[in-house]
Amino acid sequence: MPTRRLIFCAFPFGYGPAAKLLSIAREARARGMAPAFVGSGIALELVRRSPEDFEEVVEASAAAASVRSLVAASSGIVSIMDRNAARLAREGAKALYVVDSLLWMRDRIPEMFLTARRYWAQRFFGRPFGSQDLPVVPVGPIVPALQPGPPLRRAELVVHLGGCESPAAASEDHHRYARFVTRALVSSGVPREASALVLAGATCAARLGAEFAGWGVAFASLSHPEALNTLSNAAVVLTSPGVTATLECFQAGVATSFLPPQNYSQWLALEALRSAGLAEGAFHWADVSGPLPFASMPEERRTPLVLETIARLSVEDSVSDELARSLRAATRLPRVELQERQHAAFATLGGNGSMEIAAELAAESW
């Protein structure tokens, strides 16, 4: 067994952290390291679809002895924003490496990550990192190396909802958002003009498929490589403004428009994308709610406020009508100009962050 076994953990907040984990783990494996995964929830769902990238995949709720044994045999623990990974590192006396794609929006580095040997932070549009509590290594987009290929699934329009699960909200809250978007999509009439495919987590895709059967929309839950292939071969992508999906689409050079945010980080991400001129015509909840008073409240209160706002607005018919108009307009934007502008903006963020992180991990003295 290779001596440099690394345990990878991803915060189970949609597919984004797990997608970044997969990109880094593939690069680490290519450099002779032996990635293993410990995790749960929606992160585990996505990782299990790519078993070839790992020596071992262990559910976090497995017997404590098996997890302790895996930690003991490892050289270190890589956390993609997973706080439980910091506990594993501390209890096992292992080096902790943190990858954070949201430092640009944080007031401070989470306390449990202050012991990290290395702290990589992904750049994002127009949001420099402020003064922080430990050295931060900025990196470019944490995405897999682009590998174009023939389409595995054909769809002119791909609607990307992400995993639609997280510890921050109940499953019904996530489904309410997904149903709101799908209802507006059907009402917009767009699926009558172009083949439409909605990508989501397995549970979400199955529920939507049952509720919207016969409306001309297909639903699927795919592995990370399959999803990238599907997004890359679409004529237009409509995605919730998660950082990972946004950067993957911009890298692929596909014309990308945006759905309203699902959570606090996406709320700020869409604001940043708008400010950078990369989200033309996108509908934001703030367009009807007004700006939320983030500056006057502690960071831990912002997520509940955003979720409360989304829950309230997503059941209003007038808001659904507004989103339907936005979706119709999004499919009519000048595609070539849009994709060129977004791809050029992607290039300004720097080189491939997955490769940078894997190379630095390989160079570490253990």
pLDDT in tens, 42-85: 999 999 999 999 999 999 876 677 888 888 889 999 999 999 99
Residue 132 reports pLDDT greater than 80: no
For the chain, how big is the Rg over CA atoms in Å?
20
Judged against a pLDDT cut of 60, whether residue 136 lies above it is answered with yes
CA separation, residue 93 to residues 28, 71, 90, 216, 361 (Å): 22, 9, 5, 54, 18
Please determine, for residue 1, whether its predicted confidence score (pLDDT) is greater than 80: no
CA distance linking residue 217 with residue 208, whole number of Å: 10
**CATH code, residues 157-347:** 3.40.50.2000
d(C-alpha 197, C-alpha 239), whole Å:
12
Token match 């494996």: residue?
Answer: 29
Task: Say if residues 130 and 168 touch (Cβ distance below 8 Å).
Answer: no
pLDDT value of residue 269: 96
Residue 2 confidence (pLDDT) above 60: no
32 conformational bin, left if phi > 0, alpha if psi -120 to 50, beta if neither: left
Q: Is the pLDDT of residue 202 over 90?
A: yes
Domain parsing of the chain, residue ranges: 5-141+350-363, 157-347
pLDDT of residue 62: 65
What pLDDT, in 10s, does the model give residues 261-300?
A: 999 999 999 999 999 999 998 999 999 999 999 988 988 8
- Evaluate the CA torsion angle 223, 21, 346, 266 in order and state its sign: positive
Reply yes or no on whether the pLDDT at 365 is more than 70: no
Task: Give me the chain's average pLDDT, please.
Answer: 92
Name the residue with tokens 């936005």: 326
Instruction: Indicate if the pLDDT at residue 131 is higher than 70.
Output: no
Average pLDDT for residues 88-113, to the nearest whole number?
92
Q: What is the pTM of this model?
A: 0.94
As assigned by CATH, the class of the 5-141+350-363 domain is alpha beta
Same fold, 5-141+350-363 and 157-347: yes
Say what the pLDDT of residue 157 is.
94
Q: Which of 43-57, 117-131, 137-151, 192-206 has the lowest mean pLDDT?
A: 117-131
Residue 35 burial (CB count, 10 A): 26
